[in-house]
Amino acid sequence: MGQVIRDSIPHHLNWTPRPINDEKTYEKCKSSNDKASRRRTAKASDLQIGDFVLMKDQTPGSKFRLPFEHRPWIIVQRQGTIVVARCKTEEFTRNISAFKCYYPAMSLSTPSPRAEPFPDRLASPAVDAWAPIGQTVAPNQEDVSASPQEDSMREPLLMPSEHKADCPAHTSYAI
């Protein structure tokens, strides 16, 4: 048929490999990694060994399940993005993205940062925060019968962030 059959590797006798510029390759990879991190808004995690954390719930479930487990875990080991967390006798190894820092609730002895227990926009009109327990006050009605002695006996309601020490929902887990 008159065509040359290409059945062999081309012959390049004077071919030499291009010299590799490691610094240029490193800078190019670093700049692309930085650009990808900025696009994803990635940031460094500040979790350390000994921190209390909540672990992401990875069991399959419905959309009504909470995204994090309710039990606090403690970080016992961290190596880069790999974290080992322990809760009583259980120990799990997960990526650091599966954890969220847990801040225990304030105790009753800690003063509240707010001066008033409830701002006006959040106060319930049927309940006065400074009224004696069990007594309700109608909206826009002042307590004219209150004496100075009764004022000293009034107890404020607890803040949402405050809790009692014996509350089982806020007990810390000993490890």
**Cα(69)–Cα(64) distance, integer angstroms:** 13
Tens of pLDDT along the chain (175 residues) come to 677 777 777 666 677 777 778 888 899 999 999 999 999 988 888 899 999 999 998 888 888 888 998 899 999 999 999 999 999 889 999 999 999 999 877 555 555 454 444 444 444 444 444 555 555 555 555 555 555 555 555 555 444 444 444 455 545 555 4
- In the block, residue with structure tokens 């403690």: 74
Report CA-CA distances (Å) from 78 to 1, 83, 96.
70, 5, 9
Q: Where are the alpha helices (DSSP H) in the chain?
A: 22-40, 148-153
Total-model pTM: 0.43
